[in-house]
């Protein structure tokens, strides 16, 4: 943890780490995770460009870069639709089934 605080969280020395409150540590950790995610997104853009550049068989390739390399910040989607769209469809379908059964 000390090497993490000194290196990744950019603390000047060990006394600074020991004097830090838990809230300040959490704020620095949040900033580090945000910067790390941004770096991964940049790397994914480069990897995606390299992946699609040779013009392989498009039927075998994934359609979106989020499917190619998923990151923690990406929104989860099932079959190309969001979870709220899926829930709305299921509600309407249930109403339709109830109407048919009555």
| 56 and 81 both lie in a single domain | no
What gap in Å lies between CA 83 and CA 77, rounded to an integer?
Answer: 7
| 76 and 58 both lie in a single domain | no
| 50 and 81 both lie in a single domain | no
Structural domain including 52 reads: 1-63
Domains of the chain: total: 2
| 41 and 10 both lie in a single domain | yes
> pLDDT at position 77, please?
57
- In degrees and rounded to multiples of 5, residue 81 shows phi and psi of -120, 155
| 55 and 92 both lie in a single domain | no
> pLDDT at position 10, please?
77
| 102 and 52 both lie in a single domain | no
pTM of the model: 0.55
Instruction: Going residue by residue through the chain, which has 102 residues, state the pLDDT in tens, using 9 for 90 and above.
Output: 667 766 777 778 888 888 889 998 888 888 888 889 999 989 988 888 888 777 677 777 777 777 777 777 666 655 667 888 889 999 999 998 988 887
* Neighbour tally for 5: CB within 10 Å: 19
């Amino acid at each position: 943890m000390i090497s993490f605080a000194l290196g990744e969280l950019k603390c000047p020395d060990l006394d600074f780490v020991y004097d830090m409150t838990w809230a300040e540590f959490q704020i620095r950790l949040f900033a580090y995770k945000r910067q790390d995610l941004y770096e991964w997104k940049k790397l994914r853009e480069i990897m995606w460009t390299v992946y699609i550049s040779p013009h392989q068989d498009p039927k075998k390739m994934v359609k979106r870069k989020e499917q190619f390399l998923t990151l923690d910040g990406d929104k989860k989607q099932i079959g190309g639709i969001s979870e709220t769209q899926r829930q709305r469809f299921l509600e309407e379908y249930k109403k339709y089934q109830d109407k048919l059964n009555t």
